[in-house]
Each structure stands twice: as structure tokens, then as C-alpha cells.
Chains A and B, each alone.
Chain A
Amino acid sequence: MNLILQFLFNGLATGALYAIVALGFGLIYNTTKIFHIAHGAVYTIAAYLLFSAFILLKLPLYLSILIALFGTAFFGILIEIFVYKPFYKKNAPPVTSFISSLGLYIILQNLIALIYGNQVQVLTTQPEKTFQLGSIIVSRIQWLEITTFLIISILFYLIISFTRFGKSLKALSDNPLLAEVVGIDIDSSRLKIFAIGSLLAGLGAILSALDTGIEPTMGLPIVMIAIVAVIIGGSSVFEGALVGGILLGILQALSIWQLSARWQNTVVFIALIIFLLFKPEGILGVRRRLEEIKI
């Protein structure tokens, strides 16, 4: 019984990490309709910014984390200005911005590899502090992951429900053209969306970098899982990413427990195919006719 609880808790902690990254992807995908694969590169950049500040420049950890977060948000803005905005202004079909996002991911990942090398780097060498919570063992990072997840969820809920910006997000997600007609400044909203979305990716990256170390290819697997989380949670509502992320974390933990760690990603993608077949709108999404889904 304890073993199950421990696995479930580990799944919850990993799921919290997925949920944070997925929230960023979902925010961007939902409002701009860009299939932002380069989110993975943004994630990797955050980890390497932390590495540069903390290990190479030997700055204190809290300052390094701040630098990494703001640097990542800034990078997200740069991507929007120099890559996606030109496509948007040209009214290019969504598939072309998807492919250019893929291209951008490839470029950034390999630039990082050129600068820092392809090998794995670690940020801390001492073992993670742990403590008992009832019968389960909790590491400090897991604690941090779950707390961050809770804070982000509450903040996000408040922003969406009570601010003008939150309303404009909903409007953009529902109908961008109409949103522009009623006076929402699309350009500046998109900048904010990319800044916040990238910040969330950065947050996830920092948590994972402190836990397991960093390498240039770390971004794509996690962004793939984040995408799956957004789809199975329900891509038409922002909260879907949070639910999907936690569910996938727990699903992976259960598959490690029952099968083996080698199959944990396979299980995620089988879940994706099952959802796309039987419930393409996701858990929280509203059922629409296939023709209504604007892509």
C-alpha cells in the first residue's frame, strides 16, 4: 500500500512539472493557434541560462533563477517578433507556422549544443534533501514542484477570471477576428502571451534542471508530453493543461510501477491516440462537431 502511495506521489510531482510547461504551451496554442514546438527550445534555453548564471558566473541561486526566468520570457518575445509575427502578418496558413516552429526548434537546440556541448551537465552534486510525510518520502524538489504548481494554478485562475487581460485571452481563444474588432490589441496581447507562456516553460525547466541536470535535447520530450497533456485535458480551455499534466504524471508513475520505466513515454502516446479516437475534445473540453474546430 505504501508503495502505491509513494508512486502516486512521485507521479503527482512529475505531473506538476508537466502541468506547468503544458499551461504555457496551451496558453500560446489556444490564443494564437500556433503549434509552438519551439516551446521545447525555450525550455532548454531557460535551463542553460540558469546553468550559465549559477555555475559559470557563480551567481547566487535566487539571482540565477530570476535571470533565467526573465531571460526566457524575453526570448519568447523575440521568437514572436522575429518568427511568428511575420507569418501572422502575411496571413500564412497555420501549417507553415507549425513547420517553421519545428525548424526554429532544430536551430535553437543545435545552437545550444554548439555553445555548451552535447553532454549532460549537472547543477548540484550533493544529494537532494528528503523528509517523511506520513509513510511517503518527499524530496525538496518534489515539494517545490507541487507548491509551484499550486501557486501557478491559483494565480492563473485569478488572472483568467478577474482581469481584463484574462478576458482578452478568452476572447482571442474564441474568435481572434472578433476580438480585434472589439478593440483588443492583438499585437501587444500576443507579446504578453509569449512572455507568460515562455516564463512558464522556464519555470518548469528550472525545476527539472535542479533535479536531474540538463542537456541540449531535454526540451523536445517534455514539450511533446506537454502537448499531449493539453490535448487530453481539453485544448479549448486553459485549465485543461493543468488537469492533463497531473494525469499524465500519475499515468507514467503507474506504468513505472506496473511495467517498467522504459515504457513510460509509450504509455503517454498510446493515451493520446486513444483520446484522439474517442474523446478528441479532451476531459474538460466542450464537444464540437469536427467541422467547427478551426485549425
Chain B
Amino acid sequence: MAEIFPNEGLDLIYGIVPKGATGPANTWLGLFTAFTASTVGTSAAVIASWSEVSVAGAYVRQTIASSSWGTVGTTQSGRGSGAAQVTFATATAVWGTANGFIVASGATGGAGVVWFGANFDDTTAVVINTNDVIKVTPTWVYTG
């Protein structure tokens, strides 16, 4: 499993600490189809690089409230936390093959800044077909 804070996400974090910008009340969860089930984008990746699932067939990004993040604990690669699970609406068309999730800065699919991207923890690509219903648990890991 791979994960990354791309440069644009690091820039946002840098703006908050140490530069003092106000942190967001929410982030948004999306699914990406680029790369593989065990690889993610490079530091230079931007939203277009991730090939997010198209906004069709009832796919929309899901809100992650900042208050929904759980206890921060030690992981294999640093300090991490998981947020409350989000359930996507039933797919009304084929969404394609998802290799992982992104945590983005806005609700509009295919737009905004990616804070963080990661594969699913079982490093398995998932084909999301019509009538599938999925739950995703966002995670976020800072490596030291």
C-alpha cells in the first residue's frame, strides 16, 4: 500500500502550520482510478493526475467533518488516524476500477486540491459496478 501528500497538499498544510492559516472544517473523500492498487501519484501529482471517478452514476465526493477523525496512533510508517466511515450512494452506473481514495479540498469531483491520497489497505483494486454500495474509511498518516 502506498500513500502520499502531494506537493499541493503539503503547501496547504504548510500554510496552516507554521504560517497560521485557518484549517478547514471539512475535507472531502473521493476515489481514484489512476496508478495501481499498490502505487499512488508522485509529489507533483495534481487532481487531474489521479483520474477521479467521473461525477456520474450517483458518484459524488463525500464529506469528512474534521470532528470525525479518531485518535491519532502509531502506525507502521508514522502517526495516523482514521475518520468515521462514509457510505457512498448506490452506484447507478459502472464507476470503474478504483485503486484507492483521495482526501480533497472541495466537494466538486475532479476539481480542487488533493491533500492526501492512498491505496486501499488490502492493496486490491475494486471494480464498482451498477448497484454496488461501498463504505470507505479514510485514513491519514504522517511519516516522521
Tell whether A and B belong to one assembly.
no
